[in-house]
Chain A
């Protein structure tokens, strides 16, 4: 220690801060480092892929991509695997579209975003956020579903077959959620639509799984999905300016 240094009380006698030292600026420099949030590896990678740190942050804060939600999805699919192995009915394929639809409905929109109006005034447009979140949720659900389906030993036709109806059901859920501004209504519509499809195939061909495996349904499903996509695009259309 420096000799002659009165450590206990004398330091207060050094006087007030000098006029030419901006202590507020110093504190801001300290606070910026102390408060800052370090993005996790997923967010950093997303930022590089999407070339937008804002979009990456919007993606990792998607309600239906949060850990709790993903765990719930895995649990349901595992249950589906169990039922499938037990009963021979491809439960995973039957459940997966409904789960994905719920995830999509809870990914985006005025029903789920409390700061919705503010989000609409952002440079990173809400349509971009919608697109990125929907693709991510869909992709994750598809991957989990494929894994579960393969684990449950279902036939290849079934395993991949449900991706098409899943697309249609998700598109329906998203369209309804966007138009009605409520994720719950979107989930309900998606689930109801899927249940109706299953019941219809049961009535028409005597088995639920016809809704998944009948190849002549592929085009109608995709057309329906495209139609719902158009609805979403229209509902989120970019506000026109003047002229």
Chain B
């Protein structure tokens, strides 16, 4: 059975077709995901990917290639997974280190978290390009190439989005801390 027929069978709730699809495509999808994610996360994302395939097979139009469709799902699942895992607190060390400050005082840390949340929201809506880029590059610590792969854009676009995000955040933070000295640069 070719891939298109398999996916059509999956749309008809044929679980053996899903099993066959998995054995054919999971290896290369895993290899590709491994390039941007640690091993444990690859397993979770791959599982979510094939569950999404099971649920969404009826939406497949057999004109492109099955491989591209599958990779599109995997990529979306990877992005969703990263988003779910990253609370705002993770931003703090990255940002404070850049500013040369350390969250020794819990009260100061709490205050900073609130400022941070406000600054992050200045980047725009949660799945907007600026915020997503910021999160992937500075929280998840991805390289430019990895972010480009995950977001489906060119490295140049990633760099300019990251620059814009830094600019916006700096402005927001400076605005909220008039009494402190040595604002971030």
Direct contact of A and B (CB under 8 A): yes
Binding site for B on A (CB under 8 A): 1-3, 5, 7-8, 11-12, 14-18, 20-23, 25-27, 29-31, 33-35
- Most chain B CB within a 10 A radius of its CB, from A7, A29, A30, A33: A30
Contact of A11 among B28, B34, B50, B51 (CB under 8 A): B28
Chain A neighbourhood of B141, CB < 8 A: none
Alpha-carbon gap, A8 to B70, bound state (A): 12
Chain B neighbourhood of A21, CB < 8 A: 30, 34, 39, 42-43, 46
The answer to whether A27 and B34 touch across the interface, beta carbons within 8 angstroms, is: no
Q: Does B175 contact A (CB under 8 A)?
A: no
The answer to whether B18 and A2 touch across the interface, beta carbons within 8 angstroms, is: no
| Count of A-B contacts judged by CB separation below 8 Å | 82
8 Å CB contacts to A: which residues of B14-30? 15, 18-19, 22, 26-30
Q: Does B149 contact A (CB under 8 A)?
A: yes
- Which of B61-69, B84-92, B117-125, B162-170 binds A? B61-69
Chain B neighbourhood of A34, CB < 8 A: 15, 18, 51, 54
- Most chain B CB within a 10 A radius of its CB, from A11, A18, A21: A21
Question: In angstroms, how far is the closest chain B Cβ from the Cβ of A83?
Answer: 47
Question: In angstroms, how far is the closest chain A Cβ from the Cβ of B63?
Answer: 11
The answer to whether B34 and A2 touch across the interface, beta carbons within 8 angstroms, is: no
Binding site for A on B (CB under 8 A): 15, 18-19, 22, 26-32, 34, 39, 42-43, 46-47, 50-51, 54, 64-65, 67-68, 71-72, 148-149, 152, 154
The answer to whether B65 and A7 touch across the interface, beta carbons within 8 angstroms, is: yes
Alpha-carbon gap, A26 to B39, bound state (A): 12
The answer to whether A7 and B67 touch across the interface, beta carbons within 8 angstroms, is: yes
A18 with B43, Cβ < 8 A, contacts A7-B67, A30-B50, A34-B15 known: no
Alpha-carbon gap, A193 to B15, bound state (A): 51
The answer to whether A2 and B51 touch across the interface, beta carbons within 8 angstroms, is: no
The answer to whether A14 and B43 touch across the interface, beta carbons within 8 angstroms, is: no
Contact of A23 among B27, B152, B154 (CB under 8 A): B27
A16 with B31, Cβ < 8 A, contacts A1-B68, A2-B152 known: yes
Alpha-carbon gap, A12 to B42, bound state (A): 18
Question: In angstroms, how far is the closest chain B Cβ from the Cβ of A15?
Answer: 5
Chain B neighbourhood of A31, CB < 8 A: 15, 19
Chain A neighbourhood of B64, CB < 8 A: 7
The answer to whether B31 and A17 touch across the interface, beta carbons within 8 angstroms, is: yes
Contact of B26 among A1, A7, A26 (CB under 8 A): A26
A18 with B68, Cβ < 8 A, contacts A30-B18, A34-B18 known: no
8 further interface pairs, Cβ-Cβ under 8 Å (given A1-B68, A1-B152): A2-B148, A12-B28, A12-B67, A20-B39, A21-B42, A27-B26, A29-B43, A34-B54
The answer to whether A15 and B68 touch across the interface, beta carbons within 8 angstroms, is: no
The answer to whether B26 and A15 touch across the interface, beta carbons within 8 angstroms, is: no
Q: List 7 A-B contacts (CB under 8 A).
A: A8-B67, A11-B67, A12-B67, A17-B28, A18-B30, A25-B43, A27-B26
